[in-house]
Amino acid sequence: MKSVILAGGYGTRISEESSIRPKPMVEIGGKPILWHIMKIYSAHRIDDFVVCLGYRGSMIKDYFANYALQRADVTFDFRQDETIIHSRTVEPWRITLIDTGEDTMTGGRLRRVRDYVGDGTFCMTYGDGVSDIDIGGLVRYHAERNVLATMTAVQPPGRFGAMSLAPDEEFVTSFREKPAGDEAWINGGFFVLEPEAIDYIDDDTTIWEREPLSKLAEDGKLAAYKHRGYWQNLDTLRDKAVLEDQWASGNPPWRVWTELSPTAA
């Protein structure tokens, strides 16, 4: 199964970072958040990626062009004009990087990679959110419902602590640190799609989250997979700080993968 990752937006609300790099290349724990997302899929044995590039897409190409070499023990023999790889620590990834245009909307980006996803069910998500979602469970849920698209629904964490007041509202009776949101479910990304879902997209100007999803819902072809576990997007510098703190703890909730061991080249 393939996973499409939308990685072409500008990231205007985190412009302090995205002015110099595409948002999916903003680092958490020294690794781009795009890498973290790919590791989540890889933990569920999805290792074939189609990445939709746009703004500063060349930086993503450069990153993966040097990815294996940066994780290798290597000898550069300039006398023999030879490079010898001794061992390396890399995932078994196949990564297709497609330029989908700087100004293309989310639906348009998906439409532009139609020829690369093949004829089978595939995953799709955004390049700025991590989760401990059970990808395998999501795929099975989709297969059981005879739909063209399944969207993961999440309840984002609250941003502020909440107080409980006494009936006279003059005394605080309890305080909860960052409770769950307001009970509303939102689009958390991590879609499973059939290729026919792309037919709901008109052109580059189509926003996936508007007309295509609305029409799929009207046709009874859009299912919702409720994920009650961890989910966090990278939208602002505050979000980056939250993710950095969680990574620094040594047990970030989205790290569902095990560490790789070096292999001989």
Q: What is the pTM of this model?
A: 0.89
Cα-based angle 231, 56, 18 (whole degrees, multiple of 5): 50
At residue 87 the predicted structure's pLDDT band, cuts being 50, 70 and 90, is confident
Contact between 151 and 225 under an 8 Å Cβ cutoff? The reply is yes
d(CA 68, CA 52): 21
User: Of 16-20, 74-78, 90-94, 100-104, which gets the smallest average pLDDT?
Assistant: 16-20
164 within domain boundaries? no
179 within domain boundaries? no
At residue 265 the predicted structure's pLDDT band, cuts being 50, 70 and 90, is low
160 within domain boundaries? no
Q: Report whether pLDDT(113) > 80.
A: yes
d(CA 135, CA 12): 29
The pLDDT of residue 10: 83
pLDDT tens across 199-216, in order?
999 999 999 999 999 999
CATH number for position 119 = 3.90.550.10
HSE at residue 238, side-chain half, CA atoms within 13 A, is: 4
Question: Structural domain of residue 46, as residue ranges?
Answer: 2-155+184-264
HSE at residue 175, side-chain half, CA atoms within 13 A, is: 5
Q: Report whether pLDDT(131) > 90.
A: yes
165 within domain boundaries? no
The pLDDT of residue 41: 98
At residue 13 the predicted structure's pLDDT band, cuts being 50, 70 and 90, is confident
Distances (CA, A) of 145 to 151, 193, 221, 224: 12, 12, 9, 10
215 within domain boundaries? yes
120 within domain boundaries? yes
95 within domain boundaries? yes
The pLDDT of residue 163: 57
The more confidently predicted of residues 121 and 20 is: 121
**226 beta partners:** 153
Domain count across the chain? 1
Contact between 40 and 257 under an 8 Å Cβ cutoff? The reply is yes
Q: Report whether pLDDT(237) > 80.
A: yes
**Among 8, 19, 25, residue whose Cα is nearest residue 234:** 25
d(CA 242, CA 8): 23
- 250 in the Ramachandran plot: left (φ > 0), alpha (ψ -120 to 50) or beta? left
pLDDT tens across 149-190, in order?
999 999 887 665 555 566 665 565 455 655 565 568 899 999
